[in-house]
């Protein structure tokens, strides 16, 4: 899940990923997930490749990519911090904690730092509602967050 | 074979609270002391305030310690953890903890007890008896058993599961599908996640029974991407079941064929709506379909499809094993059986509480849940997720029952209860409901797509004190339009949290407080 572990863009590799999944029923979503897992995002150049293979229009594939919050069209920061913004987390102070994290990282929710180091974004529920506030840091689940935990996460993201 | 067995849960809550570090510290400390012990990574029991809950097998039963931090491990071992001896973190025999003892665990009977990926454990605790029964009595009788149980859709709509199954069974087709809705997006819910992480074979068995009953040979579990651990455990369990002949061309030697696979969502809340989910499975935008045609007649890839909530499907094995009548005997009114109620948010004892329908909201929040975690008075609870009503303490006598909640303009939804203390600003929560709807709307219906954005703006004006009365009238009218003019529950039910917040807590919207005015 760590961005530095992503592969550099390669059309050949993308074509291979598409070929590996094209036999699946309703293949578009599994292909997009696999592309993002490999490259960290879904580059615009891959859209016509998927469209051609699945016999869809570019507009249809573009429509799928842009409908789902998970799919990125730009690379994320090397560290990705997701903080839950849903009701259960709000009931135990997630709003204030999010403001603290924004201040600490110098970023607003949904932003990536200009140096590409860290992305901060909201997530709507990780099912960790009985150990809230919760979040996900570079793919790792974290619960019972407080300002100390945010300080540690920010320190991790400064590396 | 009397080696020491220690259990450290492997579910997402336990891991988010440090269970992996605890397991590592335990294994290192035991190795350093030259003690041989098995560390089993079980699923969670759902007593989440105690996670990570470490359990040790003793002659008297399993003794628990929690919540354990990695730094507690040395002192635990010195106090005699391996013999179940006292310690400040010791909670005694786990089965005797009142929170667990008061429950009626039918669907979640094995959760936290077994190793989730041990087929032997699963079978030793009643697993695959339901499928054996279904294979013995045949498809028609299996559908009838589910119908007789009174089981209703646990996703929130509460539609009788048996009727869906009958329709699919009666619709001829070259291919039929079983689709499990594991897009558990409601804040305050984690029941689906717990089954997938703590008892995955239960879902596999339930879907296999459904396939046998209606003549479907292929199943899909649509699981949200926010549950990476669930996806991982399920994928492993499916592979184990395949190798054991419990999925494939001749399931358990019954002559019936059934196989299944996991599919991952991509962060769209609306895909929890069944027709949007089917579109997404087909590789399209998750846009809601108009009904009819019903998914039972034209569902996935236009074929007859049983699409059920995960909890409905995971309840099928116990219904087949013990009989529809056994299950139907729990509950009240038209709400039969048990419901896994999820206590979440600002609550002292957060976790999963499976019980027969009929328990009151107040008992759940105050007696079982222990009130707020902050120690402040409860102001409101949101029942049924982001589309559920905010209920004030004055409604705490409401029994947990589909119809009783509906009579109060509320819904039980997927069984989530999120508790808020008196510091919450209900106007903020109403605004959040509109904001969330705007963020998640699929765009098909205008009242939902545009109305949610206008609703948020109108609430901003009300909160700023701008033409309050006129804007409150606009908001009320807008909610009515969304309710009547939206195809699915996203646009149709967002008015519930908004209007309930306004009705029960008008003072938070700057309206005249309900308190009598003091003489000035």
| Per-residue pLDDT tens digits for A55-87 | 999 999 999 999 999 999 999 999 999 999 999
Task: Specify whether A49 is located in the same domain as A95.
Answer: no
Q: Note whether A91 and A153 are same-domain residues.
A: yes
State both tokens at A85: 């913004």
Residues linked to residue B136 through DSSP beta bridges, in sequence order: none
User: In this complex, which of A32, A90, A130 lies closest to B49 when CB atoms are compared?
Assistant: A130
C-alpha span between B348 and B273 (Å, rounded):
31
Say how many domains are in chain A.
2
Query: Would the pLDDT of A25 be above 80?
Result: yes
Tell me yes or no: is domain B119-328 CATH 3.40.50.11540.
yes
Q: Which residue does chain A place closest to B278, by CA atoms?
A: A26
Q: In the A/B pair of chains, how many CB contacts fall below 8 A?
A: 153
Q: Do B12 and A64 touch (CB under 8 A)?
A: no
| Ramachandran angles phi, psi of B89, nearest 5° | -90, 0
Report the SS3 class of residue B27.
helix
Q: Quick check: B164 and B285 in contact, CB under 8 A?
A: no
Give B261 to chain A, closest Cα distance, Å. Answer: 11
Q: Which pairing describes strands B4-7 and A140-142: parallel, antiparallel, or unpaired?
A: unpaired
> What is the structure's pLDDT at B120?
98
In this prediction, the residues of chain B whose per-residue pLDDT falls under 70 are 1-2, 511-520
Interface test with B, best of A1, A87, A121 (most B CBs within 10 A): A87
Q: Is it the case that residue A3 has pLDDT exceeding 60?
A: no
pLDDT in tens, B336-395: 999 999 999 999 999 999 999 999 999 999 999 999 999 999 999 999 999 999 999 999
Which range marks the domain in which residue A150 is found?
79-157
Same domain, A118 and A149: yes
CATH 3.40.30.10 residue ranges of chain B are 4-101
Location of each CATH 3.10.20.600 domain in chain B: 331-421
Which residues make up the CATH 1.20.1440.230 domain(s) of chain B? 426-509
Q: What is the pLDDT of residue A5?
A: 84
Considering the domain architecture, whether residues A27 and A95 belong to the same structural domain is answered as no
Question: Which of A13, A44, A67 is a domain's end point?
Answer: A67
Q: Is residue A46 domain-shared with residue A90, that is, in the same domain?
A: no
Instruction: Return the DSSP state at B166.
Output: H
Q: Which two tokens stand for residue B409?
A: 């303009």
B4-101: CATH topology is: Glutaredoxin (3.40.30)
Task: Determine the pLDDT at residue B518.
Answer: 44
Nearest to A88 among B13, B418, B442 (CB): B418
Q: Can you name the CATH fold of B426-509?
A: de novo design (two linked rop proteins) (1.20.1440)
CATH number where A116 lies: 3.40.30.10
> Which of B319, B279, B273 lies closest to B149, judged by CA?
B319
Is B331-421 CATH 3.10.20.600? yes
Share of chain A above pLDDT 90, in %: 96
| Domain end marker among A37, A67, A97 | A67
Nearest alpha-carbon partner for B172 in B364, B303, B57: B303
Distance from CA of B500 to the nearest CA of A (A): 15
Last-in-domain residue among A41, A67, A93: A67
Q: Domain for residue A73, yes or no? A: no
The pLDDT tens digits for A101-132 are 999 999 999 999 999 999 999 999 999 999 99
ipTM value, please give it: 0.97
B450 to chain A nearest CA, in Å? Answer: 17
To which H or E segment does residue B262 belong? strand B259-264
Q: How many C-beta atoms surround the C-beta of residue A15 within 10 A?
A: 13
- Say if residue A39 is exposed, middle or buried (CB neighbours under 10 Å; 0-12, 13-18, 19+): buried
The maximal CA–CA distance of chain A, rounded, in angstroms, is: 51
Residue A116 falls inside a structural domain: yes
> Is pLDDT at A140 greater than 80 in this prediction?
yes
The rounded distance, in Å, linking the Cα atoms of B412 and B414 is: 6
pLDDT score recorded for residue B2: 60
Residue A72 is assigned to a structural domain of this protein: no
């Amino acid at each position: 899940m760590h961005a530095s572990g992503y592969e550099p863009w390669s059309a050949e590799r993308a074509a291979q990923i598409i070929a590996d999944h094209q036999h699946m029923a309703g293949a578009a979503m599994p292909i997009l997930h696999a592309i993002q897992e490999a490259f960290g995002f879904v580059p615009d150049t891959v859209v016509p490749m998927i469209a051609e293979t699945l016999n869809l229009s570019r507009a249809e594939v573009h429509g799928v990519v842009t409908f789902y919050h998970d799919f990125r069209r730009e690379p994320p920061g090397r560290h990705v911090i997701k903080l839950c913004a849903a009701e259960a987390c709000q009931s135990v102070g997630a709003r204030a904690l999010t403001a603290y994290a924004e201040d600490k990282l110098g970023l607003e929710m949904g932003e990536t730092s200009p140096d590409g180091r860290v992305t901060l974004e909201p997530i709507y529920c990780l099912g960790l509602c009985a150990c809230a506030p919760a979040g996900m840091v570079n793919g790792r689940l974290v619960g019972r967050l407080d300002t100390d935990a945010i300080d540690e996460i920010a320190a991790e993201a400064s590396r | 074979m009397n080696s020491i067995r220690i259990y450290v849960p492997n579910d997402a809550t336990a891991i988010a609270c440090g269970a992996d570090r605890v397991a590592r510290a335990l294994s290192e400390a035991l190795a350093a002391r030259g003690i041989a012990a098995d560390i089993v990574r079980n699923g969670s029991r759902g007593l989440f305030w105690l996670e990570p809950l470490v359990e040790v097998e003793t002659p008297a039963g399993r003794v628990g310690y929690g919540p354990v931090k990695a730094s507690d491990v040395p002192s635990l071992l010195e106090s005699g953890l391996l013999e179940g001896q006292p310690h400040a973190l010791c909670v005694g025999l786990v089965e005797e903890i009142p929170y667990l003892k008061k429950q009626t665990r039918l669907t979640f009977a094995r959760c936290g007890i077994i190793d989730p990926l041990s087929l032997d454990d699963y079978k030793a605790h009643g697993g695959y008896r339901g499928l054996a029964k279904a294979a013995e009595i045949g498809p028609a009788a299996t559908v009838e058993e589910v119908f007789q149980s009174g089981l209703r859709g646990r996703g929130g709509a509460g539609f009788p599961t048996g009727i869906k199954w009958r329709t699919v069974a009666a619709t001829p087709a070259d291919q039929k599908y079983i689709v499990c809705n594991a897009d558990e997006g409601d804040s305050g819910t984690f029941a689906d996640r717990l089954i997938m992480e703590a008892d995955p074979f239960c879902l596999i068995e339930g879907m296999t029974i459904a396939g046998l009953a209606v003549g479907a040979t292929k199943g899909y579990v649509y699981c949200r991407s926010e549950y990476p651990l669930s996806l991982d455990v399920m994928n492993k369990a499916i592979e184990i079941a395949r190798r054991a002949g419990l999925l494939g061309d001749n399931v358990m030697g019954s002559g019936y064929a059934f196989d299944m696979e996991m599919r991952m969502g991509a962060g769209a809340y609306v895909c929890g709506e069944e027709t949007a989910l089917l579109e997404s499975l087909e590789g399209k935008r998750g846009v809601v379909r108009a009904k009819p045609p019903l998914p039972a007649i034209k569902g996935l890839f236009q074929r007859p499809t049983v699409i059920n909530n995960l909890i409905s499907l995971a309840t099928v094995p116990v219904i087949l094993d013990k009989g529809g009548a056994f299950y139907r005997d729990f509950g009240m009114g038209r709400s039969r059986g048990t419901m896994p109620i999820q206590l979440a948010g600002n609550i002292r004892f957060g976790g999963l509480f499976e019980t027969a329908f009929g328990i009151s909201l107040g008992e759940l929040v105050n007696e079982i849940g222990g009130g707020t975690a902050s120690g402040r008075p409860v102001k409101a609870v949101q029942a049924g997720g982001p589309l559920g009503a905010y209920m004030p303490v004055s409604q705490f006598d409401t029994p947990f029952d589909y119809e009783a909640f509906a009579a109060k303009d509320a819904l039980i939804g997927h069984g989530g209860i999120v508790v808020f203390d008196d510091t919450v600003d209900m106007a903020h929560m109403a605004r959040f409901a509109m904001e969330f709807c705007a963020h998640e709307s699929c765009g098909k219906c205008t009242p939902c797509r545009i109305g949610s954005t206008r609703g948020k703006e109108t609430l901003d004006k009300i909160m700023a004190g701008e033409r309050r009365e006129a804007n409150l009238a606009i908001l009320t009218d807008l909610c009515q339009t969304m309710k009547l003019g939206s195809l699915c529950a996203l646009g149709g039910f967002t008015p519930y949290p908004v209007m309930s917040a306004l009705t029960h807590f008008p003072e938070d919207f700057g309206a005249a407080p309900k308190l009598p005015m003091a003489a000035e």
